[in-house]
Amino acid sequence: MSLPKFDYIAPKTLNELFELLDKYGERAKIKAGGTDLLIKMNNKVLRPEVIIGLKDIQELKFIKFDEKEGLRIGALATLSEVANNSVVKERYPSVAYAASVTATNQVRNMGTVIGNLCNAAPSADNAPALLALGAKAIIASRNGEKSIPLDEFFKGPGLTVLNSNEILKEVIAPIQSPNSFTVYKKLSPRSAVDIAIVNVGVSVEVKDNRFTNANIFLGAVAPIPLRAKKTEEYLKGKEVSENTIYEAGKVASSEASPITDVRSSQEYRKLMVEIITRRAILEAVDNIKN
Amino acid sequence: MKKIINVTINGDEYEIAVEPWKTLNEVLREQLNLTGTKLGCGTGDCGACTVLIDGKSVSSCLTLAVEVDGRSVETIEGLAESEDKLHPIQEAFIEKGAVQCGFCTPGMIMSTKFLLSKTPNPDENTIKKALDGNLCRCTGYYKIIDAIKYAAEKMK
């Protein structure tokens, strides 16, 4: 381990941060937990002149919930804090679960949910559930804040819509319909640590034993977390039955466009998308019924 | 350019000058000679470099030393009460034969300390989950699990 040389600055407020981002632009990298950034720097993939540490910016340290806006996760909320937060566990169990199966205890104590999104790995554990919940991304810069659907945040592996003068300040998961439930599922060779071979976030709404809405996002099968539009359309209006859910898995598999890499083959990924999508829908339906 | 940080390490206060690109692991081992903390993978997978910062387990290889300014760090060297009296977790690892080559042991013990600080009576699954970031390549996880159960009993 030996990192390339850089200067380090830790602003205390968002205003100071935005001034630094304007000043250094592409020459700087923002650091929250740093568990992805430092590895990329160690591998000499990134060589920023300056690292801007967010750690002292109190305005970014929060997990908030209210009945109007829903769940707000700030840029410095660590994976462990989100995984262990009692409101998140009760109201957004898929978000808590996704955070709890990201990396290791040590990394969860350092890394953040927002950092996992900004790193923009196609397999990011924290993306599918938040996407299925219809989360919004709050992007902040010196020019103020804007809200975009999280679905529009990812642009490719390691790429997001963020400009060098902007940060992802928070994500907001809105209040969910009482007839809906969201599930995150991940398949990886070992139960812990590993990056997902495939993952899925499923949110379904059921009324009178019919699917009235479905949001389905597949991870690690496309350059960005993939919205399974055909599967969503397939489910809408259909009766909740084993057959519907079985067929939905097949549709999801047909939509996925995975590649073969060191972790898995394309064929295996396609087959596993079918299986975990089905299991996730079943689990969501069971939770709505209970 | 070096930056001055004030940090508490194992209860002792230090004022040290560190280069911004140095990790906590490098500063502990190379600047302060606290070589009980190991460096394994350097990517946050193996846990050999685990230390506690403000009571929470972290990978010291992925922590910038400049960022521990004002914080409290605990390493394996800080556990024993004295040269004659080891910490109950250390005693339990020795008594249960949970050490083989010993390279993963400091990290395992720091992860155990973090676990027992939150969950004084962990069941086996909780112990396994708590060790998800610590690899042992000598193959001996079961003795480590036994040692953690025994350490929990000792600390009651």
- Domain contains A231: yes
Region B51-80 average pLDDT = 98
Segment B15-30 shows an average pLDDT of: 98
Q: What is the mean pLDDT of residues A221-226?
A: 95
Contact B62 A51 (CB under 8 A): no
Q: Are residues A84 and A107 in the same domain?
A: yes
- Please state, in angstroms and rounded to a whole number, the distance separating the CA atoms of residues A92 and A88: 5
**pLDDT confidence of A220, banded at 50, 70, 90?**
very high
Percentage of residues in chain A having pLDDT higher than 90: 92
pLDDT for B139 equals 74
The range of the structural domain enclosing residue A47 comes to 7-53
Q: Does the residue A18 lie in any domain?
A: yes
Residues A271 and A184 in one domain: yes
- Could you tell me what percent of chain A has a pLDDT over 70? 99
Percent of chain B at pLDDT exceeding 90:
96
Query: How many A-B residue pairs are in contact by the CB < 8 A criterion?
Result: 89
Confidence label for A192 from pLDDT (cuts 50, 70 and 90): low
Chain A residue at shortest CA distance from B57? A106
CB contact under 8 A, B20 and A42: no
Summarize the confidence of residues A185-210 as an average pLDDT: 90
Chain A residue numbers with beta carbons less than 8 Å from the beta carbon of B63 are: 34, 110
Residues A100, A85 share a domain:
yes
pLDDT tens-digit map of A257-273: 888 888 889 999 999 99
Residue B48 near residue B106, CB atoms below 8 Å: yes
Query: Cα(A102)–Cα(A145) distance, rounded to whole angstroms?
Result: 28
pLDDT tens digits, A45-74: 999 999 999 999 999 999 999 999 999 999
Q: What is the per-residue pLDDT for A263?
A: 85
> Cα A138 vs. chain centroid, distance in angstroms?
14
Position A223 in a domain: yes
The last residue of one of the domains, among A173, A198, A230, is A173
Do residues A140 and A216 both lie within one domain? no
Rounded to a whole number of angstroms, the distance from the CA of A115 to the nearest CA of chain B is 14
Nearest Cα of chain B lies from the Cα of A98 at a distance, in angstroms, of: 15
Name the band, by pLDDT with cuts 50, 70 and 90, for residue A191. Answer: low
Does ipTM come in above 0.90? yes
Are A189 and A283 found together in one domain? yes
Which comes out higher in pLDDT, residue A186 or A191?
Answer: A186
Q: Does A55 touch chain B (CB under 8 A)?
A: yes
Average pLDDT over every residue of A204-215: 98
Least CB–CB distance from B47: residue in A1, A5, A104: A104
Task: Give B58's contacts in chain A (Cβ within 8 Å).
Answer: 106, 109-110
- Of all residues in chain B, the percent with pLDDT exceeding 70 is 100
Q: What is the mean pLDDT of residues B37-65?
A: 97
Last residue of a domain, one of A173, A196, A224: A173
Q: Show which of A118, A142, A173 is a domain's final residue.
A: A173
Query: Which A residues in the span 246-275 are in contact with B, Cβ-Cβ below 8 Å?
Result: none
Contact B37, B30 (CB under 8 A): no
DSSP chain A: --PPP-EEE--SSHHHHHHHHHHHGGGEEEESS-TTHHHHHHTTS---SEEEE-TT-GGG--EEEETTTEEEEETT-BHHHHHH-HHHHHH-HHHHHHHHTSS-HHHHHH-BHHHHHHHT-TT-TTHHHHHHTT-EEEEEETTEEEEEEGGGTEEETTEES--TT-EEEEEEEPPPPTTEEEEEEEE-SSSSSPPPSEEEEEEEEEETTEEEEEEEEEESSSSSPEE-HHHHHHHTT-B--HHHHHHHHHHHHHH------SS--HHHHHHHHHHHHHHHHHHHHHHHH-
In terms of Cα–Cα distance, which of B60, B54, B21 is closest to B40? B60
User: In angstroms, how far is the first alpha carbon of chain B from the final one?
Assistant: 48
- The stretch B33-52 carries a mean pLDDT of 97
What structural domains and CATH numbers belong to chain B? 3-78 (3.10.20.30), 88-154 (1.10.150.120)
- What b-and-e string marks burial along B29-52, b requiring 16 or more CB atoms within 10 Å of the CB? beebebebbbbbebbbbbbbbbbb
Of A1, A8, A55, the CB nearest to B23: A1
Same domain, A39 and A110: no
Report chain A residues whose CB lies below 8 A from the CB of B134.
104
A89, part of any domain: yes
pLDDT for A288 equals 96
Same-domain status, A140 and A213: no
Q: What's the whole-number mean pLDDT along residues A170-179?
A: 97
pLDDT at A175 > cutoff 90: yes
A214 in contact with B, Cβ within 8 Å: no
Give the pLDDT confidence of A115-174 residue by residue, as tens digits. Answer: 999 999 999 999 999 999 999 999 999 999 999 999 999 999 999 999 999 999 999 999
Closest by alpha carbon to A133, among A209, A213, A206?
A213
- Domain of A18: which CATH number? 3.30.43.10
* CA angle A213–A96–B25, rounded 5-degree value: 145
Are B58 and A109 within 8 A, CB to CB?
yes
Query: Is the pLDDT score of A209 beyond 80?
Result: yes
Mean pLDDT of chain A: 96
Closest by Cβ to A104, choosing from B25, B66, B132: B132
Q: Let me know whether A49 and A63 are in one domain.
A: no
CATH code where residue A281 lies: 3.30.390.50
Amino acid identity of A210?
R
For residues B63 and A273, give the distance between their C-alpha atoms in angstroms, rounded to a whole number. Answer: 36
Of B39, B61, B64, the CB nearest to A8: B64
What is the chain B residue with the closest CA to A80? B56
Which CATH number goes with the domain that contains A63?
A: 3.30.465.10
Number of domains in chain A: 3
> Mapped to the 3 state alphabet, what secondary structure does A68-108 carry?
CCEEEEECCCEHHHHHHCHHHHHHCHHHHHHHHCCCCHHHH
User: Can you tell me the mean pLDDT for B59-85?
Assistant: 97
Q: How confident is the model at residue A2 (pLDDT cuts 50, 70, 90)?
A: confident
- Residues A226, A278: Cα–Cα separation, whole Å: 16
pLDDT of residue A114: 98
pLDDT in tens, B90-102: 999 999 999 999 9
Judge whether A58 is closer than 8 Å to chain B, CB to CB: no
Indicate whether B5 pLDDT > 80.
yes
Cβ–Cβ < 8 Å for A150, A203: no
A231 touches chain B (CB under 8 A): no
Shared domain for A167 and A191, answered yes or no, is no
- Give dist(CA B105, CA B77) in Å, integer: 12
pLDDT over threshold 90, residue A184: yes
Identify whether residues A35 and A86 lie together within a single domain.
Answer: no
